[in-house]
């Protein structure tokens, strides 16, 4: 049986306990200096103590964001 890491499992589309966003999920930032910015989840950078993601911003560039600073965009 393969022992892949959490990041590999996440990239393969598997659910990871405590991780709320999948790769390519559309999100908005609801806290921090980029409040209101929108973007796409690119990578899961950390899991503990709280998931941290690399977000590709619609306005250009990337930002690291904690899961609690993100909200899913629908529609």
Pairing label, strands 52-57, 62-66: antiparallel
Q: Is residue 1 part of a domain?
A: no
CATH code of residue 13? 2.30.30.30
Q: Is residue 52 part of a domain?
A: yes
Q: Is residue 44 part of a domain?
A: yes
Task: Please say whether the dihedral angle defined by the alpha carbons of residues 71, 9, 11 and 46, taken in this order, is positive or negative.
Answer: positive
| pTM for the full predicted model | 0.89
Q: Is residue 67 part of a domain?
A: yes
Q: Is residue 47 part of a domain?
A: yes
* pLDDT-derived band at 6, boundaries 50, 70, 90: confident
Full residue range of the structural domain in which residue 47 is found? 6-72
**Tokens in use for 21?**
């966003």
List pLDDT tens digits, range 17-75: 999 999 999 999 999 889 999 999 999 999 999 999 999 999 999 999 999 999 999 86
Q: Domain count of the chain?
A: 1
Indicate whether 9 pLDDT > 80: yes
* pLDDT-derived band at 4, boundaries 50, 70, 90: low
- To 5 degrees, how large is the angle CA 74–CA 62–CA 60? 80
């Amino acid at each position: 049986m393969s022992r892949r890491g959490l990041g590999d499992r996440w990239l393969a589309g598997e659910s990871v306990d405590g991780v709320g966003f999948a790769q390519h999920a559309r999100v908005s930032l609801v806290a921090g200096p980029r409040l209101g910015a929108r973007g796409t989840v690119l990578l899961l950078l950390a899991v503990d103590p709280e998931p941290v993601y690399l977000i590709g911003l619609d306005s250009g560039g990337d930002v690291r964001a904690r899961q609690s600073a993100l909200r899913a965009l629908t529609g």
